[in-house]
């Protein structure tokens, strides 16, 4: 059994605490007299990760290795859950990243916990300045259920091994 004690400060109260961990499972959190001046908190959730540290999820080609690399780069800064957007304006390009991310989340137990879903962003956005963010106005179009079903079916079909 691996036992570890992590000392720091409760981020809400500033009080010193000790966290006892056995084999990767938190067993207790208790006050302690003194401790390091580090803040100890739960992990972060990033609601939109397009790219980070050279791992671009909107690239034309996304591989499982790219997704794994991104996960570990985010872990290193405290992010344990993230939502990848898929936003290329052309349907053919949109299908590939959605499929890779869905396939990876299905095939990798860790990714299933880290990536709860993929946000399909555009091309069905308001054409107003500000609302469409960085999406070019000429690539914005009204919502279309047939479009959505095609993207969904394409992502699911690409998710099967």
Position 21 scores a pLDDT of: 92
Position 159 scores a pLDDT of: 47
* Nearest alpha-carbon partner for 151 in 81, 69, 71, 90: 90
DSSP-derived letter for residue 132 is T
Instruction: Say which CATH topology domain 44-159 has.
Output: TIM Barrel (3.20.20)
The arithmetic mean of pLDDT across residues 61-79, rounded, is 84
* pLDDT tens per residue across span 106-122: 567 788 788 887 777 77
Q: How far is Cα 95 from Cα 91, in angstroms, rounded to an integer?
A: 6
* pLDDT tens per residue across span 6-31: 888 887 788 899 999 998 888 999 99
Of residues 60 and 157, more confidently modeled: 60
Question: Domain limits of the chain?
Answer: 1-41, 44-159
Average pLDDT, the chain: 78
Confidence check: pLDDT of 69 > 70: yes
DSSP-derived letter for residue 99 is H
Using only C-alpha atoms, the chain has a radius of gyration, in whole angstroms, of 20
DSSP 12-77: TT--EEEEEEETTEEEEEEE-S---S-B--PPEEES--SEETTEETTSS---HHHHHHHHHHHHTT
């Amino acid at each position: 059994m691996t036992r570890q004690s992590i000392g720091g400060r409760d981020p809400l109260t500033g009080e010193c605490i000790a966290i006892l961990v056995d084999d990767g499972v938190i067993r207790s959190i208790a006050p302690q007299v003194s401790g390091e001046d580090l803040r100890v908190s739960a992990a972060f959730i990033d609601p939109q990760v397009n790219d980070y540290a050279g791992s671009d999820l909107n690239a034309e080609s996304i591989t499982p290795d790219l997704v794994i690399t991104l996960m570990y780069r985010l872990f290193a800064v405290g992010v344990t859950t993230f939502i990848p957007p898929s936003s290329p304006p052309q349907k053919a390009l949109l299908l590939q990243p959605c499929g890779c991310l869905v396939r990876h989340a299905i095939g990798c137990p860790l990714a299933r916990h880290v990536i709860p879903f993929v946000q399909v962003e555009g091309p069905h956005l308001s054409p107003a300045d500000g609302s469409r963010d960085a999406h070019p106005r000429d690539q914005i179009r009204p919502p279309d259920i047939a479009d959505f079903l095609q993207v969904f079916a394409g992502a699911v079909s690409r998710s099967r091994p």
